[in-house]
Chain A
Amino acid sequence: MAEEVKLLTTWSSPFALRVVWALKLKGVQFDSIEEDLSNKSPLLLQYNPVHKKIPVLVHNGKPISESLVILEYVDETWRQYPLLPDGPYDRARAHFWAKFSDDKVSPSIWGVFIKQGKEREEAFDQIFENLKFLEEELKGKRFFGGEKIGFADLALGWIAERVCVLEEIIGVKIVEEEKFPLVSAWMQEFVKVPIIKESLPPHEKLVTKIRGIREKFLGAA
């Protein structure tokens, strides 16, 4: 049966990257459609009228938005390389850490990235609190998914993929190996996984872009 899988995306979006990772791990062939978010295409507005954001997965003409919702859809539709574990409790825990990533970890790291001086120090406290939970969760495990990467790893993977970029820009270590040895080890292991490694956005291009975002943000503040 001819299957059509399209992904509306941008080269630098960490949310879109989650979906790319999932599709590649499952060996699903897909077409990437690069969106210009300053000039959103009629296609994007048609497929995601509610949020008008990427990523959007379009499977045989049916669109799905919101990266974690898409990940779950991908896992339920293509059963090879399961991202979620079998048991309901372990599945719920994987979802919990994915939600934690977006609810708590992401805002706290963004906070450190855009703040300065005393405000930044306070933002670090928030990060440490969040990282402590992740450190605890990784005890006895190589990945959040166990022996191989799973749903929670893909959801949290932006930390491994992007934090080094942020650290380079602000010149400050955000995830210290001494304080968080397991999280640091996980970050290194994650980006070594071949499918993850080959999908990483170009480093220098990403640094330039994100530095620009930060400068714009600080300039507007």
Chain B
Amino acid sequence: MAEESVKLLGYWASPFALRVKWALKLKGVHYEYVEENLPNKSPLLLRYNPVYKKIPVLVHNGKPLAESLLIIEYIDEAWKQNPLLPDDPYERANARFWAKFFDEKCVPEVMGAFASKGEEQEKAAKARENLKMLERALEGKPFFGGDKIGFLDIAVGWIGIWGRIVEEIAGVSLIDAETMPLLTAWLNNFLEVPVIKACIPSWHELLEHNKGFHKILTGSST
């Protein structure tokens, strides 16, 4: 069999790159990681993702793919071991629906709370409202994927880390144990799964990095 080449163009502080790392690790796929020096995007990145010019980009045997959720679905189809999506079409549709909901309705609200100067409490309230809705997809299961982690777990899971960072820096509450008991319990379990935990960047470095980012976004003085 021909030698397989798998490359991941990423950024250490990107939760979207982390999702893809988790997927590759869960499948036991060996890959070469290429750290992009953002914001100085490499010619390689611009060639592999001319449309969005963003990481993550997966390059499998020379063929590039962009957009983290699409990449994860591709990984699930290209490597059949440890399936991330369920077999049943309706369950698959549910997983995709909630991943899309998270990206389109939760993430922008969390980013809004993080980037705001003056409106962070209102935006955080909206973020909490939407995050709470995710509990519908947990339906009394330990993970979104059921007994073990799957597509939706790795799509959403990074909120457990970045959410806490936004809470600390912006002085807001996003994941409230009292009003979101299922989500809180799930996050605690998810982040302890060894393969997941091993990929998470250093909390301290992430916090410092995002403090700097926050200053730029809110125009705060140093």
Of residues 109 through 138 on chain B, the ones whose CB sits less than 8 Å from some CB of chain A are 133, 136
Would B89 and A77 count as touching, CB distance under 8 A? yes
Would A96 and B90 count as touching, CB distance under 8 A? no
A64: B residues at CB distance < 8 A: 90, 93, 97
A70 within 8 A of B: yes
Of residues 20 through 69 on chain A, the ones whose CB sits less than 8 Å from some CB of chain B are 50, 59, 62, 64-66, 69
B60: A residues at CB distance < 8 A: 89
Would A89 and B63 count as touching, CB distance under 8 A? yes
A91: B residues at CB distance < 8 A: 74, 77
B51 within 8 A of A: yes
Docked Cα-Cα span, A48 to B82, in Å, equals: 31
> Which of B23-31, B64-72, B160-168 faces chain A?
B64-72
Docked Cα-Cα span, A73 to B65, in Å, equals: 22
Docked Cα-Cα span, A217 to B127, in Å, equals: 27
B97: A residues at CB distance < 8 A: 64-66, 69
Most B C-beta atoms less than 10 A away, residue of A70, A77, A96: A96
Would B133 and A50 count as touching, CB distance under 8 A? yes
Would A92 and B93 count as touching, CB distance under 8 A? no
A93: B residues at CB distance < 8 A: 65
Of residues 23 through 73 on chain B, the ones whose CB sits less than 8 Å from some CB of chain A are 50-51, 60, 63, 65-67, 70-71, 73
Would B93 and A69 count as touching, CB distance under 8 A? yes
B92 within 8 A of A: yes
Would A50 and B101 count as touching, CB distance under 8 A? yes
Would B70 and A96 count as touching, CB distance under 8 A? yes
B96: A residues at CB distance < 8 A: 66, 69, 72
Of residues 71 through 88 on chain B, the ones whose CB sits less than 8 Å from some CB of chain A are 71, 73-74, 77-78
B90: A residues at CB distance < 8 A: 59, 62, 64, 73
B209: A residues at CB distance < 8 A: none
A92: B residues at CB distance < 8 A: 65, 70-71, 73-74, 77
B197 within 8 A of A: no
Docked Cα-Cα span, A169 to B101, in Å, equals: 33
- Also in contact, A76 and B92, with CB within 8 A (given A69-B100, A88-B78): yes
Would B74 and A88 count as touching, CB distance under 8 A? yes
Docked Cα-Cα span, A73 to B92, in Å, equals: 8
Docked Cα-Cα span, A150 to B92, in Å, equals: 20
Q: Report the minimal beta-carbon distance from A9 to chain B, rounded to whole angstroms.
A: 18
B100: A residues at CB distance < 8 A: 66, 69
Given contact pairs A88-B78, A95-B70, A104-B51, enumerate 15 new A-B contacts (beta carbons under 8 Å): A50-B136, A64-B97, A66-B97, A69-B100, A73-B89, A76-B89, A76-B92, A77-B89, A88-B77, A89-B60, A89-B63, A91-B74, A91-B77, A96-B51, A96-B66
Top 3 closest pairs, chain A to chain B, by CB: A88-B77, A76-B89, A92-B74
